[in-house]
Amino acid sequence: MPKKKMAYWDIELNGKPFNEIKRFVSSISVEYEINKLTQASIQIESVSFLENYFSMNQKLTIKMGWDGLGLIDMFEGEIEKNPEGNASDFLSYTIPLLDSSVSMARREKNMTFPSNKKSDIIKTIAGANGYDVETNIKDASCIKGMETPIQKYKTDFEFLEECATKWNCLFWVDPSVKKIYFMDSDIAHKQGDVIHASSKFRSMDDQSGEYKLGYKTDYAPNNISNLNWKFGTPRNANPGTNIVNRTGEKGKVVSPEDFVTEFYGKTYKYSPEVVKKMKTDPSFSNKVMEESSTKTIEPSEITKYYVAYPADGESKTNKHLQVSPHHRINAVSLDVDLNIGDPYLRPPRQVKLFCGSLNPRALTSNLPNWLVNSGSEGRLFYLNKVKHELTDGMIKTNLELSL
């Protein structure tokens, strides 16, 4: 493991060093998540409220790293709102921050688009905000005129979120290079690896390919201090209701809306008769989902299991590929704490998880084999969210992964 003994950090206010405030800072956190604005917060402890420093819309820059001469730009943004806090022996309060792309989330717009191609629509949004854009959307067909998205009473960021959801895409913003990445969800994480490999700022331990995680193993660096796994909750289900009980399981029917899908540019859901039978006959449920996911549905076969949704069957996305039912997405998730923080890490990335050893005398450990097989192959997960926290003189990194 690399010898990283001491964390360094710095804060700038409106482009100028902010050294006088550092002695009051108890912690800093920066959170990156796909399809979301990057957020940060600064925890302050002081005898009196520092009135002159933390007013709304002030610009702050946060840097941190393990090398005092090579700090990493973690965040550049502005104060979102007045801080919340408490007062006892001293004042403790949290300064909430949003990154500089928040300008895209400020003003609602009404807008139509001259082009009816998905990539052109995203380029229009990016250009209007002064951002470059990299798109990778397999569906390059023209959207029918009546189905072309209309931005109505939505901010640009809300509209990007809406398009990403409808088109089964992921997007993220890199304010440091003024660029938006918008891609099909099935390639975004792999492309994140490529983008990272070409970046000037990357860890010596993570130069190319998937990010490697090891839990008590000799196949990869042992960089996990804590790992939690859980099964997701289906949409519209009661809290605690699992999507699945093991990896590879198809899942139970919870709500017809979980199975809205598309065929030939129109949206459908399972018919009431099919849903009723699925609830009472698990084998029938598995049969239907298997056919829907592996077989090419002919137009004449659609009504075997499906009815138009909504009733007119008009597609809102014009996506000619079937989208995975919601209950299969993020069915199993991991929450991982690294034993040494990695401030270079950003989502989306592919992550390979390793455990165990071929050496029976090795001091290793095996995780559940339905979660990850022990061995040199590991198992591939997808990194969707990263939180870096500077506290107690250390940089801590937390990851959220999905299968």
* 87 in any annotated domain: no
The reply to whether 133 falls in a domain is yes
Residue 322 has what pLDDT? 36
Closest CA to 340 of 214, 185, 152: 214
Question: Is residue 261 in some structural domain?
Answer: yes
**315 lies in some domain:** yes
pLDDT, tens digit, for every residue of 77-103?
888 888 888 998 888 988 888 888 888
**Which residue, 133, 157, 185, sits at the end of a domain?**
185
pLDDT band at 321 (very low <50, low <70, confident <90, very high): very low
Strand 151-154, strand 132-136: pairing? unpaired
| Residues 14-40 pLDDT 10s | 888 888 888 889 999 999 999 999 999
Q: According to the model, what pLDDT value does residue 235 have?
A: 46
- Residue 325: per-residue pLDDT: 37
Mark which of 164, 185, 206 sits at the end of a domain.
185
Would residue 67 be called left, alpha or beta, if left means φ above 0 and alpha means ψ between -120 and 50 degrees?
A: beta
For position 266, what pLDDT does the model report? 65
Q: Is the dihedral of CA 131, 157, 351, 251 positive or negative?
A: negative
Across the chain, mean pLDDT equals 80
CA-to-CA separations, 356 to 122, 229, 309, 331, 332, in angstroms, rounded: 44, 17, 48, 24, 21
**DSSP code of residue 288:** H
With 50 as the cut, is the pLDDT of residue 353 above it? yes
123 domain residue, yes or no: yes
Helix, strand or coil, per DSSP, at residue 402: strand
Q: What is the pTM of this model?
A: 0.75
Query: What's the number of domains the chain is made of?
Result: 2
Cα separation of the two ends of the chain: 27
Q: Which residues are CB-contacts of 254 (< 8 A; sequence separation ≥ 6)?
A: 234, 235, 236, 237, 241, 327
* Assigned domain for 313 exists: yes
- For 319-373, the DSSP string reads --SPPPPGGGTTSEEEEEEESS--TT--SSEEEEEEEE-S-TTS------TTT--
pLDDT over 70, % of the chain? 79
CATH number, domain at 170? 3.55.50.10
Q: Please give the structure tokens belonging to residue 87.
A: 């007062």
Of 267, 289, 323, which residue sits at a domain end?
323
pLDDT digits (tens, 9 = 90+) for 54-74: 777 788 899 999 988 889 999
What domain range is 283 assigned to? 256-323
Burial tier of 182 (Cβ tally within 10 Å: 0-12, 13-18, 19+): buried
* pLDDT surpassing 80 at residue 330: no
Q: Residue 68: what residue type? A: G
124, part of any domain: yes
Lowest mean pLDDT: which of 59-73, 281-295, 311-325, 338-352? 311-325
Residue 228 has pLDDT above 90, yes or no: yes
Looking at mean pLDDT, say which of 16-30, 263-277, 327-341 comes out highest: 16-30
Residues 223-246: what's their mean pLDDT?
Answer: 66
Asked if the structure places residue 260 within a domain, the reply is: yes
HSE-up of residue 30 (Cα within 13 Å, Cβ side): 26
**CA–CA distance from 121 to each of 44, 133, 137, 140 (Å)?**
42, 11, 12, 12
Dig out the tokens for 81 from the structure. 């709102």
Question: Which residues are bridge partners to 43 per DSSP?
Answer: 27, 94
Place of tokens 């600064």: 42
